[in-house]
Amino acid sequence: MPPPNTQQAPSLPALYSELNRLIIMGDYEKTLKTCNRILHIAPEELKALQCKIISFIHLGKFNEAINAITHAKQTDNCIFEQAYCYYRLNKPEEAIKILENPGAKDDKRVPELKAQILYRLERYDDCKKVYQDVIKNSHDDYQDERETNLGAVIAGLVATKGSKNIKVPELRDDTYELCYNKACRLVAEENFSEAEKVLRKCEKLCMEQLLDDEETEEEIEDELAIIRVQLGYCLQMQGREGEAQSLYQRVLKHKPDDVTLLAVAANNCVVINSTHNVFDSKKKLKIATSEGVELKLTKAQRKTIAANNCLFNVINAIGNYKTHCDALLKKYPDMEFTAMLGMTLGKMREGSDQDAIDGLLKYAEKDPKNFLQIHLFAAQIALMKENRDEALEILLKLGDDKYLPGVVSTIVTLYVGKEMSDKASKFLDETVDWYRKNRSGKPGLEKMYREAADFHMRNEEPEAAAKCLEEILLLHPDSRQIIAQLVMAYAQIKSPKAKDLSDRLPPINTKGLDVDDLESANWMMGLKSNRSTRPQTSADSPPTTPRDPYAKKNKKKRRGKLPKDYVEGETPDPERWLPKYERTGFRKKRDRRAKDIIKGSQGSATNASEAYDFSSYSGAGENTKAETPQQHVSHQKSSGDHKKKKRRR
């Protein structure tokens, strides 16, 4: 008989001792096995259950951790761990519901996790309150991290509500993380020039801090990537697209671990490429729309990338444009305007410009927010097909928006292009009246007065111009430029006000000037005319006729060059223009290679034409079939390649 098994199961203290050693070592696979052994002996051991859940979390097995919590009896003691697992699985709604459990209030770890989940849900107001309470009630070494997170929350608030609607607290910017979040807030305020300065400072601080921490070059590049992408966006919004593109390409080439960063950089590259580099844009969009990226992007970022993807496919005729627009509208119902633009572009690609215009105007009736933009788009399409009448009709239906400076300029230009200056003048007067009634004393009124006065003067309407200039003079009574222009307008309508108003202009100092000399000199024509001689003033001089600027100028004949050995009086050699071999005294050299030398153009000469004339050859009869040799492009050896070359020793 075999001896009885005298080995006893290890006691709980021994297992806990082994568990403590494995946790210190960080061997979580073996930690799981030890926890299971403890729970097999004592299923109600809370510490072993918590260690098991933490081991799953460290190993990235969040679903297994949730299953372990769900099947355990002590679920109230694992609320924080369960919420964290849902947060890491990109399920923030489930996570926030768990943290709202009354049993979670006593756990000091809950507020900071709750703040992170609220930030992921983009509930910035609630998140701000939680962080402010945490910062106020905490006194440890993590204050910098909490202030950094609060800065990110404030940037999100400004982006969604605007800086005018919230009170922005003053935060430090002595670390590169705090500096970066300050730049994000400035970007949300659309203060891109100031944000660029802060990001330059942030990049410098990051380099210095990571070098002091002796981080590797790859780790430094990973940390700098997010700063460079944000800096690239600031440069792009300032119109410096070349600099922005180089920063995006640098980040994409480095390939950091943050997939959201790659998606944003790739999307911005597509925007810069526009209709160029289609193949490159297609590759970039694959990065921006890759699987798993959407879960980590904000809602605004997801919508922007989806809109760009849809418009890119429509513009470049990739698939059916209706399919792309319907897919965008189904996924984001609030992006109806973008889907409508995609449909319009698709119709334009098909050549249905009129259908595109009709669709835009029909949609504008139910979208007052984008009323102006839609009508401008429709007017642009009409102008692209050179239909000025329809473009004018669309712009004149804009209501009060037609009095915007850019729209006014377009309408006046269209009227002038159609040789309808009277209607242009009437519309300008109407615009001035509207500004006088609705925006009195504002810069827009003065600008309209100036534009109207300039237009009336150019169209020889000095009386109307004088009325506009009088209004400007009321705003700027001491403006010499306006007074001078008004004097010119009064002079053209022969108004006595011209004399009175000219007295307000400074006197011209004519002391030491020769008026006759100034009048006789064509000083307005520049320096060249000043150098010319003064015209004759004699009464006997014949009247001069004005020179035709388009008449052909008589070119002087240049004297030809004479040969070096030319003797004056002798007759030049009559054969001097013939080739040397055709001259009388030329002696032919004997060519041993051929008896007859073919000379002349195209390799034929008069004396050799009969020898090479095949038309008299008897074999060229009607039954002779001429075969055209085929041309082959291939590498062939020359006739002398078969000879062996002697090697030099």
Residue 116 has what pLDDT?
93
Of 183-197, 357-371, 400-414, which has the strongest mean pLDDT? 183-197
Give the pLDDT of residue 243: 94
Read off the pLDDT band of 648 (50, 70, 90). Answer: very low
Among residues 187, 98, 99, 111, the alpha carbon closest in space to that of 149 is found at 111
Instruction: Name the more confident of 187 and 493.
Output: 187
Q: Is residue 535 over pLDDT 60?
A: no
Residue 475: band (very low, low, confident or very high) from pLDDT cuts 50, 70, 90: low
**Around Cβ 529, how many Cβ atoms within 10 Å?**
11
Q: Is pLDDT at 412 greater than 70 in this prediction?
A: yes
The reported pLDDT for the residue numbered 486 is 75
For the record, the structure tokens of 564 come out as 């070096």
Averaged pLDDT for residues 613-640: 38
What number is the average pLDDT over the span 376-402? 89
Backbone torsion region of residue 555, taken as left when φ is above 0, otherwise alpha when ψ lies between -120 and 50, otherwise beta: beta
Is the pLDDT reported for residue 273 higher than 80?
Answer: yes
| Confidence grade of residue 129 (pLDDT, cut at 50, 70, 90) | very high
Q: How many CB atoms lie within 10 A of CB 66?
A: 20
pLDDT mean over 326-336: 91
Amino acid 351: pLDDT: 85
Q: Answer yes or no: is pLDDT of 614 > 50.
A: no
pTM as predicted: 0.66
Q: Rounded mean pLDDT of 424-433?
A: 81
* Measured distance CA(345)–CA(322) in Å, rounded: 10
Q: 371 Cβ partners below 8 Å, 6+ apart?
A: 364, 398, 401
Tokens 């990051």 locate to: 206
Query: How sure is the predictor about 58, in pLDDT bands with cuts at 50, 70 and 90?
Result: very high
> Given a cut of 60, is residue 26 above it in pLDDT?
yes
Secondary structure of 187-233 as H, E, C letters: HHCCCHHHHHHHHHHHHHHHHHHHHHCCCCHHHHHHHHHHHHHHHHH
**pLDDT for position 645:** 38
* Cβ contact 292:326 at 8 Å: no
